[in-house]
Amino acid sequence: METQKASVKKVALSYGLYLALGTIAVSVIVYAMGMTYEQPWWQSVLNFAIMLACIVYGLKAFKKDNEGYLSLGESLKTGLAISLIAGLIGSLFTLLFITVIEPDFTANMLDATADKIIEQNPNMTEEQLDMALGMSETFMSPGIMFAMGLIVSLFFGFIISLITGLIMKNPRPEHI
């Protein structure tokens, strides 16, 4: 009978927390710089790099605790658990941010969005602009933002875990 010493829960809690704290720190830095409504390109790149590092190092830790063995299934389970924990914490932070820290977030973001739309489409009619902003406002509701944060975290977590798992896999030999 195979024994598994590694704990998905232990690794996921640790590295999920690291990932959440890293991405929240980036958001706080962007907010402190006054760039929240500009959404700089480097914020997404930095968040992805943090996610990549946390999942890869989380899978390395799991593999080390598991006597050097890591199956693709264990990789996906561990990486998705890390992403789930980080996604939940990050989405809770987003809710806190848009309801308490920056309660005018939705209105300010819609203004910034309107400015970008008008800049990119100067011939757009008022009706078209109102329709585009109405759709944007729907996606900026707290519930939708929470769900999207979680979905995006799980999606990228799955992709990173899959690729990392294929590279790092070392399944236990089958006993006959």
Please name every residue paired with 48 in a beta bridge, in sequence order, or none if there are none.
Answer: none
Mean pLDDT of the chain: 91
Mean pLDDT in residue range 83-105: 94
Sign of CA dihedral 161, 167, 172, 173: positive
Nearest to 89 by CA among 152, 24, 148: 24
Rounded distance between C-alpha atoms, residue 88 and residue 74, angstroms = 21
Most confident region among 59-63, 97-101, 106-110, 135-139 by mean pLDDT? 59-63
Three-state SS string over the chain comes to: CCCCCCCHHHHHHHHHHHHHHHHHHHHHHHHHCCCCCCCCHHHHHHHHHHHHHHHHHHHHHHHHHCCCCECHHHHHHHHHHHHHHHHHHHHHHHHHHHHHHCCCHHHHHHHHHHHHHHHHCCCCCHHHHHHHHHHHHHHCCHHHHHHHHHHHHHHHHHHHHHHHHHHHCECCCCCC
Q: Specify the pLDDT at position 176.
A: 46
Residue tagged 């819609």 (tokens): 110
* pLDDT tens column, 14-55: 999 999 999 999 999 999 999 988 889 999 999 999 999 999
Amino acid at 109: M
Q: Specify the pLDDT at position 132.
A: 84
* pLDDT tens column, 53-65: 999 999 999 999 9
Amino acid at 33: M
| pLDDT confidence band for 113 (50 / 70 / 90) | confident
Amino acid at 87: G
Length of the chain counted residue by residue: 176
Q: Specify the pLDDT at position 4.
A: 52
Question: For the CA atoms of 83, 89, 92, 94, what is the dihedral angle to 10 degrees?
Answer: -70
Q: In this predicted model, which residue has the larger pLDDT, 123 or 6?
A: 123
Assess whether pLDDT exceeds 80 at residue 143.
yes
Residue tagged 């970008």 (tokens): 116
Q: What percent of the chain has pLDDT over 90?
A: 66
State if pTM tops 0.95. no
Q: Specify the pLDDT at position 2.
A: 47
